[in-house]
Amino acid sequence: MDAFVSLIHGFGVLADPMNIVYMCVGVVLGVLIGVLPGLGGANGVAILLPLTFSMSPTAAIIMLSSIYWGALFGGAITSVLFNIPGEPWSVATTFDGHPMAQQGKADEALTAAFTSSFIGALLAVVVITFLAPVVAGFALRFGPAEFFAVQLLTFCSFVGMGRESPFKVLAAMTLGFALAAVGLDSVTGQLRMTFGTVELMRGFDFLIAVIGLFGIGEILLTMEEGLSFRGKSTTITLRSVMNTWIRLPRFWITYLRSAAVGCWLGITPGGATPASFMSYGLARRFSKNPGDFGKGEIEGVVAPETAAHAAGTSALLPMLTLGIPGSPTAAVMLGGLLIWGLQPGPMLFIEQKDFVWGLIASMYLSNVVGFLIVLTTVPLWASILRIPFSIIAPVIIVLCCIGAYTVHNAFLDVVIMLFFGIIGYAFKKLHYPLAPLVLALVLGDMAESSFRQSMLISQGDMSIFWSNWLVGSICGLAMIMLFWPLITLLLDKMRGGGGRLSPGGA
């Protein structure tokens, strides 16, 4: 009841007309950032952060968070229409979203994506509103071993539940781990695989790699196959929206499961990208038609979008309650709070009640505004297809180069992006999956750091990974997912053997 009363107070804070204006501007800018390859929620918030220094902390955080929500929505547009993820967490959406667009169902795919994004974010905001003290207390129990167990669970689920050959998945993931190891060893301080290049001390930035792997790689492949843009144009009509909404309630279990995965990985934190991959794998594993995934299955759009938005939204919970950012964007927002003189933590809910509950109330309203904006502006983004490919391809390459350069303001990043573009092109030509490489690249450093910290704490004793019920259950679930194909094979053989005994005995 106290949370509900505080939320009503937050809506009162949000009623300031200027806060509404900042929220709407932030959502529009966020959608634009999400659509353009090379930019992302973290980049957009970081670039626009200096513009908020003259605002009040409440107005500033509302605008910055709205940029984030808009970016989450916008990433699905290019994933479905162009097969180029506008955001890293939109990669899984391309698996079925773009095939649906190729089948003339782009309106259904986009409606399902936007609706799922809205539902995932809404459920996560409810968690933030009513379960903040409980979740914050639970997250405090996580040490290095628990963090590694969650990351191990993500890797194993992708190997065991992926739709590609386990060998190809492991090969791609191994390359991702190798690339993630480049740079300065955070534990020993030694340089690894830098080859005497000072610029490589910081390693390969995940955003630069994603821009190259998907943006440049897709453009190179399209140029080879012919100068014809393979995107699909669409308009979303009220009839198509209603028809899609009639179908979506049948996936209520997928919504709840994906939201739970997203909230878990957003709070722990795992991140929106692994959450979308894991939810896609779980949806395929528990689907009645797993063979349809990758060919235009609407559930393959529902699962990753729900999880990504749930993870992206719930990542703000540990930032506000513990001062621990659950995502890169949350880390940028944390920096903004410190600049504004606010100290995240439990006391923030007491000392800055207007700020906290105004932000939480804006999460509800900005998701509604973002949902309506993307539904009504898709034709504007689809109109890009009227531009000849010979013009749009160089424009996309230039945008990718600008996005890569702005990460560290270094020309080497543009070269690295092109290098990853060639890798992406080769992977697509050889039919190797890119998603495991991306997953290993983004989580490799975190997993290595958590593992080594765990080994230092236990003095090399591996039993730390089943030393308590929490870490033990997560690691056990990881092993089940890793060997799930063998488990299902054995179960099928047992069923087949039972079925063959019957005719023989008759």
3-state secondary structure 352-390: CHHHHHHHHHHHHHHHHHHHHHHHHHHHHHHHHHHCCHH
State how far the Cα of 293 lies from the Cα of 280, in Å rounded to an integer. Answer: 9
Per-residue pLDDT reduced to its tens digit, 341-382: 777 766 676 677 777 777 888 888 888 888 888 888 777 765
Q: Which residue has the higher pLDDT, 458 or 396?
A: 458
Res. 388: pLDDT tops 70: no
Check residue 499 and give its pLDDT: 46
Per-residue pLDDT reduced to its tens digit, 279-298: 888 888 888 877 778 788 88
| Secondary structure (3-state) at 192 | strand
Per-residue pLDDT reduced to its tens digit, 183-237: 877 667 788 877 777 667 777 776 677 777 777 777 787 777 654 545 555 566 6
* Environment class of 453 (CB within 10 Å of its CB; exposed 0-12, middle 13-18, buried 19+): middle
Q: Which residue has the higher pLDDT, 41 or 412?
A: 412
State how far the Cα of 447 lies from the Cα of 438, in Å rounded to an integer. Answer: 14
Range of 37-41, 164-168, 206-210, 324-328 with top mean pLDDT: 164-168
State how far the Cα of 405 lies from the Cα of 152, in Å rounded to an integer. Answer: 32
CA triple 337-339-341, angle to 5 deg: 70
Check residue 500 and give its pLDDT: 45
Check residue 240 and give its pLDDT: 76
Asked if residue 457 belongs to a domain, the reply is yes
| Mean pLDDT of all residues in 463-487 | 84
Residue 348's closest CA among 45, 57, 14? Answer: 57
Asked if residue 414 belongs to a domain, the reply is yes
In which domain, by residue range, is 273 found?
A: 2-141+149-494
- The tokens of 199 are what? 């610029």
Cis check for the bond before 269: say yes or no (omega within 30 of 0): yes
Per-residue pLDDT reduced to its tens digit, 142-157: 778 887 887 787 788 7
Check residue 392 and give its pLDDT: 67
Q: How many Cα atoms within 13 Å fall on the side-chain side of residue 237?
A: 4
Q: Which residue has the higher pLDDT, 497 or 483?
A: 483
Res. 177: pLDDT tops 60: yes
Of the candidate ranges 93-107, 112-126, 392-406, the one whose mean pLDDT is the lowest: 392-406
- The tokens of 329 are what? 């964007």
How many C-beta atoms surround the C-beta of residue 193 within 10 A? 12
Find the radius of gyration of the CA atoms of the chain. 23
Beta carbons of 154 and 278 less than 8 angstroms apart: yes
Q: How many Cα atoms within 13 Å fall on the side-chain side of residue 254?
A: 29
Of all residues in the chain, what percent carry a pLDDT higher than 90? 0
- The tokens of 333 are what? 């927002």
- The tokens of 494 are what? 């047992």
pLDDT band at 134 (very low <50, low <70, confident <90, very high): low
Check the CA dihedral 307-327-170-427 and report its sign.
positive
User: Which DSSP category does 215 fall into?
Assistant: I
| Mean pLDDT of all residues in 31-48 | 65
Phi-psi region of 104 (alpha: psi -120 to 50; beta: other; left: phi over 0): left
| Secondary structure (3-state) at 338 | helix
The single residue listed with the structure tokens 């993820």 is 85
State how far the Cα of 476 lies from the Cα of 90, in Å rounded to an integer. Answer: 29
State how far the Cα of 502 lies from the Cα of 263, in Å rounded to an integer. Answer: 47
Check residue 504 and give its pLDDT: 39
Asked if residue 505 belongs to a domain, the reply is no
Asked if residue 237 belongs to a domain, the reply is yes
Check residue 206 and give its pLDDT: 67
- The tokens of 235 are what? 């308009």
What are 192's strand-pairing partners?
A: 183
Asked if residue 500 belongs to a domain, the reply is no
Asked if residue 43 belongs to a domain, the reply is yes
Single-letter residue type at 83: N
- Residue 499: CB partners within 8 Å, gap ≥ 6? none
- The tokens of 1 are what? 């009841």
- The tokens of 485 are what? 């194909």
Residue 157's closest CA among 470, 488, 480? Answer: 480
* Environment class of 503 (CB within 10 Å of its CB; exposed 0-12, middle 13-18, buried 19+): exposed
Residue 158's closest CA among 443, 377, 403? Answer: 443
pLDDT band at 166 (very low <50, low <70, confident <90, very high): confident
Of all residues in the chain, what percent carry a pLDDT higher than 70? 79
Q: Where are the beta strands (DSSP E) in 66-215?
A: 183-184, 191-192
- The tokens of 280 are what? 């896609």
pLDDT band at 42 (very low <50, low <70, confident <90, very high): low
Res. 62: pLDDT tops 50: yes
Q: Which residue has the higher pLDDT, 178 or 266?
A: 178
**Residue 183 dihedral angles phi and psi, to the nearest 5°:** 120, -155
Note the helical H segments in 140-249. Answer: 144-161, 166-180, 206-210, 217-225, 238-247
Single-letter residue type at 268: T
Check residue 188 and give its pLDDT: 73
The single residue listed with the structure tokens 């634009």 is 32
Asked if residue 213 belongs to a domain, the reply is yes
State how far the Cα of 172 lies from the Cα of 176, in Å rounded to an integer. Answer: 6
- Mean pLDDT, the chain, whole residue set: 77
Asked if residue 306 belongs to a domain, the reply is yes
Q: How many domains does the chain have?
A: 1
Check residue 501 and give its pLDDT: 40
